[in-house]
Amino acid sequence: MSRRILATCALPYANGPIHIGHMVEHVQGDVWARAMRMAGHTVHFVCADDAHGTPIMLRAQREGITPEQLIADSNTQHQADFRDFHIGYDHYSSTHGEANRALTVRIYEALRDTRHIESKSVRQFYDPDKDMFLPDRFIKGECPHCHARDQYGDSCEVCGKTYTPTDLIEPYSVISGARPVEKESVHYFVRLGDFEPMLREWLAERRQAGGLQVEVVNKLEEWFSDGLRSWDISRDAPYFGFELPDAPGKFFYVWLDAPVGYLASFSEYAAEAGLDRDAFLEADAAAEAGTEMVHFIGKDITYFHTLFWPAMLHGAGLRTPSAVYVHGFLTVNGAKMSKSRGTFINARTYLEHLDPDYLRYYLAALLGPTLADLDLDFKAFEERVNSHLVGKWANIASRCAGFVHKFFDGRLTDAIAPELRQRYDDAVARLQPCAELFEKREYAHAMRLVMGVADDTNAWIAEKAPWKMAKDESQREQLHQVASMAINLFRLLSAWLKPVIPATVARAETFLSSTSSQFGDVDMPLAGHVLAPFQPLLTRIDPKKIQAMIDDSKSSMNAAPAPAATPATATQPATPTIGIDDFAKLDLRVGKVTVCEHVEGADKLLRFELDAGELGSRQIFSGIKAAYPEPEKLVGRNVVFIANLAPRKMRFGLSEGMILSAGEGGADLKLVEVDAAARPGATVR
């Protein structure tokens, strides 16, 4: 049955270039769209730039241009990057357009009219120099918990504790450096809790249909059990975005109108291409038409796409997503992308050095349906692409094309021998599951099947040894049979690789003088068909080009400071020798236990409060419950703790240090004790 699907990838933010991390998602989505089309379905694949928000407004000011100009430039670059990576969007729009404004306002008004929006006065920091309210990320100051300096207004990167900007000590505006003042402002909130029953139902249906991954469902259950909070959807002027229709000076928060961009982009495309827009977007019409809407997103934005988004759509009478497919992040050489290591690679930089199909294949060969992160290991990248694409697949055509041209004028045999035909039919059957594997985003599995057939084909060619037949005039017919079949098998493999490496397969199709737009097009082998001359389809990856790309990525960053303390976790010996300086970094102190108790809901934890003398009182969680089942007996004892360990946010509260104990863990743990005469707060040396 042919399906009609609207597919999207998450909207890249207009305030930065496309990098190879983005490509995981756009390749995943593009392969899916292409494969589904080749399986006979209709897929409309759209995307857009996410163009609103304070960062864009401020950057435009800094560069002395209008935000409109900034986002237009970005859009041009983004579109070029995707196009050159062969990401085949039917339409690529921007959230800063009339279609998006109309839809955003419609959603807002629908929610307002059904009383799902409330307004509240909020106290917020305001930059008196710039005359604007400051988003949390634009305020810095000293963490109220661990007193680390220069921490953002929403959370501390040192201790992980979250708070509100007004909790910061000595706050300052990142924009002007001025000390922000608190100011009241009315904000609008969507009462997300109102939608819990609807969301639960949506979730249950998606789970049933496979539209949400198990991990995502689990995560959602957790969010439900924690309770859904209202969502602040307005921001005060000046802001680059859409103004609320009934509240001058109030703008929609960028995250409200961003996903609406999916619908806006499709609306524009539908108008342009003469499609029935409502059949894809309006709840009733979509239900009747049986269309689907599928989103590909990264795991960091799961919350927005599985809670806010379906709720907003539902509230406005729009269709909800049929599926939200979540993928993991890209690491490079086993670590987060890093500008200083040259592994933060922009799409454009990659394209200047390497063929996009290399990366598409590598990612596809790694991609599965889970949220697991993917690693771009350059050594593996080089080896896999060279071996699989050049050595296995392209080689089949390369090694047999010569026979066909030299002895048979480029013409494949007219009558395929039955035993060879059997080989072809077997291969068709073996690759058949790939269609479903593509649909289920099991690309790695599909690529294994394809390469397995390529392996067998090469082995079969070796067994038949057509080069020997070529030397024997009497074996011409057999040679024709074998070479023709090899080319046919190559064509079959090419069709299944087409969603992944479309440009390279297009070259293969030039050689074959035959194109396939559906997987079914290659069910039958070609007979009596004339081939074009063979040209190399792709070259092996030259490791020098990878290196050049890394060097370029390093130099394109503007003089970042040397990473003095980058931990090389993977390469360090298990117990490296340390110097006295390292030891001196530890601030070990004596603490007198003033409170010690079980923690509700924790299997292993005890909660301590320590009197630490001049350091005051400290709360520390320690996983030693198994060893000390009667915690109250510890009160009054002197223990040793690390006083300068970065505080750590736990579910049960902040743990401000670590208490030392000896043993293998579990019940075998003994507190390190200090003579009762020791003074609380005394330094341990």
Partner RNA sequence: GGCUAGGUAGCUCAGACGGUUAGAGCGCGGCACUCAUAAUGCUGAGGUCGGCGGUUCGAUUCCGCCCCUAGCCA
Q: Between 167 and 215, name the residue whose CB sits nearer to RNA.
A: 215
The packing angle between helices 476-497 and 443-464, to 10°, is 170
The CB density around residue 567, as the number of other CB atoms within 10 Å, is 9
State the Cα–Cα distance between residues 451 and 448, nearest whole angstrom. 5
Minimum Å gap between C-beta 449 and RNA is 10
Judge whether 136 and 152 are in contact, CB under 8 Å: yes
Q: Between 87 and 512, name the residue whose CB sits nearer to RNA.
A: 512
Task: Tokens 């007219």: give the residue.
Answer: 414
Minimum Å gap between C-beta 474 and RNA is 18
Q: Between 249 and 536, name the residue whose CB sits nearer to RNA.
A: 536
Minimum Å gap between C-beta 222 and RNA is 5
Contacting range for RNA; rule: CB under 7 A; set: 123-131, 559-567, 587-595, 649-657:
649-657
> Which residue in 666, 668, 670, 679 binds RNA (CB under 7 A)?
666
Interface with RNA includes 452 (CB under 7 A)? yes
Interface with RNA includes 300 (CB under 7 A)? yes
> Which residue in 303, 378, 407, 408 binds RNA (CB under 7 A)?
303
Q: Between 471 and 685, name the residue whose CB sits nearer to RNA.
A: 471
Q: Total residues at the site for RNA (CB under 7 A)?
A: 74
Q: Kind of pairing, strands 588-598 and 606-611?
A: antiparallel
Interface with RNA includes 542 (CB under 7 A)? no
The CB density around residue 675, as the number of other CB atoms within 10 Å, is 7
Phi, psi of 187 (to 5 degrees): -120, 155
Minimum Å gap between C-beta 566 and RNA is 14
Interface with RNA includes 605 (CB under 7 A)? yes
438: tokens are 């593509």
Q: What are the angstrom distances between the C-alpha of 496 and each of 146, 179, 510, 517, 565?
A: 56, 61, 16, 11, 47
Task: Tokens 């009054």: give the residue.
Answer: 636
Minimum Å gap between C-beta 292 and RNA is 25
Q: Between 130 and 652, name the residue whose CB sits nearer to RNA.
A: 652
Judge whether 259 and 281 are in contact, CB under 8 Å: no
Q: Binding mask 165-184 vs RNA (x if CB under 7 A, - otherwise)?
A: --------------------
Interface with RNA includes 239 (CB under 7 A)? no
Judge whether 405 and 482 are in contact, CB under 8 Å: no
Q: Between 23 and 60, name the residue whose CB sits nearer to RNA.
A: 23
Q: Between 148 and 285, name the residue whose CB sits nearer to RNA.
A: 148
Reduced 3-state DSSP string for 49-61:
EECCCHHHHHHHH
> Which residue in 349, 458, 553, 661 binds RNA (CB under 7 A)?
458
Q: Which of residues 306-335 bind RNA (CB under 7 A)?
A: 329, 334
Interface with RNA includes 540 (CB under 7 A)? yes
209: tokens are 């249909």
> Which residue in 189, 378, 407, 467 binds RNA (CB under 7 A)?
467
State the Cα–Cα distance between residues 294 and 282, nearest whole angstrom. 15
Q: Between 288 and 383, name the residue whose CB sits nearer to RNA.
A: 383
Q: Between 177 and 666, name the residue whose CB sits nearer to RNA.
A: 666
Minimum Å gap between C-beta 664 and RNA is 8
Q: Which of residues 133-172 bind RNA (CB under 7 A)?
A: 162
Task: Tokens 């040396």: give the residue.
Answer: 685
Minimum Å gap between C-beta 407 and RNA is 11
Interface with RNA includes 623 (CB under 7 A)? yes
Q: Which of residues 565-604 bind RNA (CB under 7 A)?
A: 569, 601-604
Task: Tokens 């020798």: give the residue.
Answer: 577
State the Cα–Cα distance between residues 207 and 218, nearest whole angstrom. 10
Q: Between 400 and 550, name the residue whose CB sits nearer to RNA.
A: 400
State the Cα–Cα distance between residues 44 and 46, nearest whole angstrom. 6
Minimum Å gap between C-beta 307 and RNA is 7
Q: Between 83 and 336, name the residue whose CB sits nearer to RNA.
A: 336
Q: Between 654 and 678, name the residue whose CB sits nearer to RNA.
A: 654
Minimum Å gap between C-beta 603 and RNA is 4
Closest to 262 (Cα-Cα) out of 277, 272, 245: 277
Contacting range for RNA; rule: CB under 7 A; set: 183-191, 344-352, 427-435, 533-541:
533-541
> Which residue in 120, 123, 200, 468 binds RNA (CB under 7 A)?
468
Q: Which of residues 367-406 bind RNA (CB under 7 A)?
A: 368, 370-375, 377, 380, 383-384, 386-388, 390-392, 394-395, 398-400, 402-403
State the Cα–Cα distance between residues 93 and 264, nearest whole angstrom. 8
Phi, psi of 158 (to 5 degrees): -85, -50
Q: Between 289 and 449, name the residue whose CB sits nearer to RNA.
A: 449
Maximum Cα interatomic distance, the chain, rounded to a whole number of Å: 104
Contacting range for RNA; rule: CB under 7 A; set: 62-70, 75-83, 235-243, 534-542:
534-542
Q: Between 45 and 381, name the residue whose CB sits nearer to RNA.
A: 381
> Which residue in 665, 668, 679, 683 binds RNA (CB under 7 A)?
665
Contacting range for RNA; rule: CB under 7 A; set: 63-71, 127-135, 286-294, 463-471:
463-471
State the Cα–Cα distance between residues 422 and 367, nearest whole angstrom. 32
Positive/negative CA dihedral, 305, 306, 309, 313: positive
Residues 6 or more apart in contact with residue 670 via CB below 8 angstroms: 627, 661, 662, 663
Minimum Å gap between C-beta 197 and RNA is 16
> Which residue in 11, 254, 537, 593 binds RNA (CB under 7 A)?
537
The b/e string for 231-249 (b: 16+ C-beta within 10 A; e otherwise) is bebbbbeebbbbbbeeeee
> Which residue in 4, 179, 299, 339 binds RNA (CB under 7 A)?
299
> Which residue in 351, 650, 678, 682 binds RNA (CB under 7 A)?
650
Q: Which of residues 215-234 bind RNA (CB under 7 A)?
A: 215, 218-219, 222-223, 226-229
The whole-angstrom distance between residue 597's C-alpha and the CA centroid of its chain comes to 41
Q: Between 299 and 341, name the residue whose CB sits nearer to RNA.
A: 299
Q: Between 433 and 536, name the residue whose CB sits nearer to RNA.
A: 536
By residue count, the chain amounts to: 685
372: tokens are 């697991």
E-only strand ranges, 510-556? none
Q: Which amino acid belongs to residue 336?
A: K
Q: Which of residues 49-108 bind RNA (CB under 7 A)?
A: none
Minimum Å gap between C-beta 679 and RNA is 30
Judge whether 155 and 161 are in contact, CB under 8 Å: yes
Q: Which long-range contacts (CB under 8 A, 24 or more apart) does 300-305 make?
A: 300/329, 301/10, 302/216, 302/219, 302/326, 303/223, 304/255, 304/258, 304/259, 305/259
Q: Which amino acid belongs to residue 625?
A: K
Minimum Å gap between C-beta 641 and RNA is 15
Q: Between 298 and 681, name the residue whose CB sits nearer to RNA.
A: 298
Let me know if 217 is exposed, middle or buried by CB neighbors in 10 A (0-12, 13-18, 19+): middle
Q: Which of residues 195-214 bind RNA (CB under 7 A)?
A: 214
Phi, psi of 680 (to 5 degrees): -55, 135
Q: Which of residues 330-369 bind RNA (CB under 7 A)?
A: 334, 366, 368
State the Cα–Cα distance between residues 493 and 522, nearest whole angstrom. 9
